[in-house]
Structures are given as structure tokens and as C-alpha cells.
Structure 1
Amino acid sequence: MLEATDLAVEFPGRSGRRARAVDGVNLSVGAGEIVALVGESGCGKTTLARTLLGLERPAAGQVRYDGTPLSYSGRALRAFRRQVQLVLQDPMGSLNPRHTVYEAVAEGPRIHGLPDEEKVVATALAQAGLRPPERFFHRFPHELSGGQRQRVVIAGALALSPKVLIADEPVASLDASVRGEILALMLRLRDELGLSALVVTHDLGLAWNIADRVAVMYLGRIVESGPTEDVLTAPRHPYTQALLSVLPESPERIILTGEPPDPTRIPAGCRFHPRCQLVAAGNGIDACTTTPLAILPAISTPQVACHVTAGKIPALDNS
């Protein structure tokens, strides 16, 4: 349904250098599939999501929807955004406090000129779990709980009958007791409406509970991907292993040194090697610090970009 091919996004950086926020990414979301994009803050997840939505133009590569390259003309983007909708992290920040629930959900249908506005709004609210929908029409965001506000945001996306949702940290601002309800809602929408979703998150527990596939991102690249069970039960990349080690059930905590490098100065060789626990322990190889790794393709089988744990992955000079 939605695919990124060799996608690169750059921004002006210090001293005239370009910051490579997304630096060669292949990623696909299939029909009725939920893919989790995971990684720590600053790794490029949100920039990639914005680019998939057409909010950022790539410096290289392309975005495809249903096999067709994304066009950045006003009319084409308007049609595209009926099919691919965004669900933001903070419902209080994304809802206008002066607008009622009805006005918030009706905004998209009005922009796109959809008929039967009241029916569209009521249906979307009901699909998002706010029933009976008429009970919520005249309420304001401050009159709702956090979970209800997030359901209103989801209803606003559903009002346009999209095929794909891009959810950026959809439960990060919610209480633990409400998170499960929103995750269950997203799974139900997938099953009942056939929706696809890309869920951007730093929470591997969320990815485990909701995703069919996981893609792990570090410093602008996908470093490991595959079916959720394969990646999260038998991680092969040292970075994925470190992310999983903070979960309560992990037998050993892996502490990474330092912060992610400046994206205007990508390290030579494997971009993770300055923080890699294998290199720090003397278990790396020369290629870790000298030879760039290939960009991973957008396939569903398990794959990893690591010289040590996947030595057969070919190197590619793309510095």
C-alpha cells in the first residue's frame, strides 16, 4: 500500500553541512498490515513518517502509494491524504480547544467536500469507540478523558475512509490503563476495515502487542527488520539488543555509551560502531570502522545490517 524506496531527507546543518535525517531507507506497509518503526529519539522516525505523508520532500528516492509514485502537486497531495492519514501523539495539542468534537471530526470531510457530513462524523466516532456518537457532538476536548481525546483524533482520520494510518507515538501521552484500549482499537480497525498502519514508537512493548513486522531505525537507516516475533525474540543487531535490554523481563541490561552521532557527521563504516557494545568489548572486526553497510531492502523476511552478526550482507560504499 505504502512504500519508501531509497528515501533520503536532508536539512541544513551546522557550518553549511547537510544533516541526513533519513539516509537511504526502504520500507513498505502491505494491505491490512501493521508495521512498527522503532528507535530512540533523534533517529529519524518522525521525519520518515512526515515524508511518507508528503509533508517533507525527499532529497532522493521516492514514496509510492498503491504502486504509484507520490506527486507533490496540490491536487495529487489532496487525493493522497484522503488515503493516508496521520494520528498524532498529543491529542490536546492536535485538537483545537475551541472546537467541539463534531467540528474536529468534520474538518476533514468539509475540506474534501464529502456529502452527508453528520452521518460521516457519527460513523467515524462510532468506529473509534465513542458510542453513541451523538452524545459527544457538542463536547469540547477539556470535557473528555485522555483516551476519549485520542479516539476523537482517530475518528478525525477515519472520517475520510483512509486505507493507511500513520500513527506517531499514538499512546505515549496516555495512562497505562488506557493504552491497551487504544491498541485494541487499532487492531479492531485493521480487522474490520482492512486498514494498514505504520506505528512510530520508541516502545518495543507496544510493537510486540500490535505489529506484524518491526523495522528498527538508527541514525537515518533501518538496521534490522522482519516479523515481530523474529526481531523481538531473537534480535541480531547490537542496537536492537540494547533497546530490548531495558524491558523488565530482560536478563541483562546493555548500557550504550554516548549519544547518537551528529547526522551531519555520519561515522565511517557501520554508523553504530562508536556506541556498539560488541566493538567496545573487542568483538568487532575491521570492517565495523571502515566499510559502510548495504541499505536493507524492503522485504518481509528477517534481515540485519551488521558486519559481525550478518557477515554475508554485502558492503556498499555509499558514504
Structure 2
Amino acid sequence: MTETQTTEEAVSTARPSLLEARDLHVEFSSRGRRARAVDGVNLSIGAGEIVALVGESGCGKTTLARTLLGLERPTSGEVRYGGAALDYRSKALKAYRRQVQLVLQDPTGSLNPRHTVYEAVAEGPRIHGLPDEQEVVAEALSRAGLRPPERFFLRYPHELSGGQRQRVVIAGALALNPKVLIADEPVASLDASVRGEILALMLKLRADLGLSALVVTHDLGLAWNIADRVAVMYLGRIVESGPVEQVLTAPRHPYTQALMSVLPESPERVVLTGEPPDPTRIPGGCRFHARCQVLASGRAAEAGVDGKCRSEPLSVLPAVPGPQAACHYAELTG
């Protein structure tokens, strides 16, 4: 099956989505070489749904998130919101960014130390010319769990705890009343004791406001606790996706199995060998084959798919809600 056919299948079989990537490719020039940071991705996020995008550093997660936000333009393919292709003209992008907001992983870096909490949260409403600024800021802080909000208006970031700073960042996003949050490692810089509070807040926002979210993370434990669905990304492509319980309790792709093996409850540790992902040098065949523990152990040869693993590329996965994996061995063994 060709990649074009796969994309058409993705469009026809995916459930109605709020935010969607269709056959998305994003390329950069790197020291005279072409880096395929996002190399054919279909992904959908439904209304009120939380999707976790997981994978190790360098796999293309952040580039995909930035492209969904309209901060990067795709080389080919498209981003769709509410059924319409994203319009990159400045006025249309400004309107789009009211609906789709970014929550960064480092609240210390994303908050201006010279601005009070009030000024930080009011920045978005001022850019978009929203009325009743003080009321908007107070409601956003309150929804983010900073109550009473007036107590925080004149505080500076250095006067807050790490968890409170992350709540201010979330309040800044909520002030524009978005429909989708894209959260890039939202708890990575926080102490373990505070992570649960921020995750609980995100789930409450989904319950209270019907918010959708794409949570970008390398932490499968976080995905388990917050997501409805999970998409596992490797070297620019989603290699496995599906409902979080199915993917994380019975992972089919060897890469997902390796990621899962680092969790404390995992019975067996998988140590990946070979070079880490390099988007300027994507290998032939399965893009994971050079590091694959199933191929290295001889199990792929026993199943008669080792030649395919080394030489036959896999189709781009469609944006369907059910479980799926781009793996020759998984296709054969079920």
C-alpha cells in the first residue's frame, strides 16, 4: 500500500476530530543535509480527548507540536482544525491561537521575571483585545487553582513555588478560553510531589471545560495517568498508537516495549543498542531495525520477517482510534 493510499484511508476511517495532522511532513536543512523531523504523521485529537505523544528526545515530538500550533509550516501535508485546513495568514493564525494554546515545560523560562502574575496572565487577552481584563485574569487564575486570585495579582515568579508557576502558565493559556491545550512536558521540571497536582488539574479542566489536550512527554507513566489515547513516535513517525490501556499493557512495537521496560514494575529491562535517532539519516526498511531487540535476538528471523525488517519500509499509520503498530513482526504475530 502506498503512503498516499494510507493517508486517504486515514481520512476516511478516523473519527471526527477537533485538531488533526494529515500526512504531515516537516523538513529542515542541517549542515547541508535534509532532516526529516516529521516524516509522515496522521494524528487526530477529538473534543474533550487527551492524547499523549511519547518518544525519546530527537524523535520529532516537539516539531510536530510546534507545527500543530502553526509555529512551523509543514513541507507537505496539512494541519486541520474544526474540519478546515489551517490558514497561515497572520489574522487567521491569530484567531487560531486563541483556540489552540501552548503550555511549556519550564515555567521559570516562560515567565518574565520582571512581570507580575497579573501581567503574565493578561498578556494574551491584551494581544487579542478581550474586554473585562481583570475579570478574565481572575477567572483564569481561579480555574488554574490559584485562589483567591487577587492574592496572586502582584506577586512575581520568584515568589512562587514551581507548582504555582506552572499554574500561572496554565492560567495564561486559559485566559483566552481555548479549546485545545498543547502541553510540552508539562510536569518535567516539577518535583514528584507536585506532578500529581498538575495532572489532576488538567483532568479537571477537561471535565469542567471540555478541553482537549495533546500532552508531549517521554514519560509513559505520565501518559498512563492522564491520556485517553497514546501515540508513540520514533524518528519522525508514529510507530504505535491506540487506547492508552491497550498500548501500555500490551505494547506490540519493539520500541514501545523498550520504552515500557524502564518503568519500575516492568519484569524485564530492554537496553537499546545502536545509534540514537538521526532525522538526516533515516535507514531503509523499518526505521527502528538497527536498534530492534526483536531483530537482534533472532526472533524476527525465526518468524521469517528479518529481510523485510531490513529492506521493506512500513506504511504511514492512519489516524484511527483503535490499536495499531507499524512493525513487520507485530503484523505477523498479531
- Residue number among 126, 144, 151 corresponding to 1:128 in the alignment: 144
Q: Report the counterpart of residue 323 of structure 2 in structure 1.
A: 302
For 2:74 and 2:26, the matched residues in 1 are separated by 5
Compute the TM-score of the two structures, normalised by the length of structure 2: 0.92
Q: Which is richer in helix?
A: 2
What is the CA distance between 1:312 and its match in structure 2? 9.2
For 2:333 and 2:217, the matched residues in 1 are separated by 30
State yes or no: 1:166 paired with 2:143. Answer: no
Q: For residues 96-142 of structure 1, what are the alpha-carbon distances to aligned partners after superposition, in whole Å with 9 as ceiling and x for unaligned?
A: 00000000000000000000000000000000000000000000000
- Residue number among 273, 276, 287 corresponding to 2:308 in the alignment: 287
For 1:97 and 1:54, the matched residues in 2 are separated by 27
Q: State the SS of the aligned residue for 2:330.
A: coil
What is the CA distance between 1:263 and its match in structure 2? 1.0
Q: State the SS of the aligned residue for 1:286.
A: helix
Q: Report the counterpart of residue 84 of structure 1 in structure 2.
A: 100
Contact 1:261 1:267 in 2 (8 A): no
Q: Report the counterpart of residue 230 of structure 1 in structure 2.
A: 246
Compute the TM-score of the two structures, normalised by the length of structure 1: 0.97
Q: State the SS of the aligned residue for 2:268.
A: coil
- Residue number among 124, 128, 138 corresponding to 1:108 in the alignment: 124
Q: Report the counterpart of residue 32 of structure 1 in structure 2.
A: 48
Contact 2:141 2:147 in 1 (8 A): yes
Name the Cα RMSD after superposition.
1.0
* Unmatched segments (≥5 aa) in structure 2: 1-17, 301-305
For 1:103 and 1:258, the matched residues in 2 are separated by 48
Q: Report the counterpart of residue 23 of structure 2 in structure 1.
A: 6
Aligned length: 312
Matches within 5 A, 1:1-319: 1-14=18-31, 16-284=32-300, 285-311=306-332
Change (3 A) 1:289 1:220: same
Runs of 4 or more consecutive aligned structure 1 residues displaced over 6 Å after TM superposition: none
For 1:160 and 1:262, the matched residues in 2 are separated by 37
Contact 1:219 1:260 in 2 (8 A): no
Q: State the SS of the aligned residue for 2:67.
A: helix
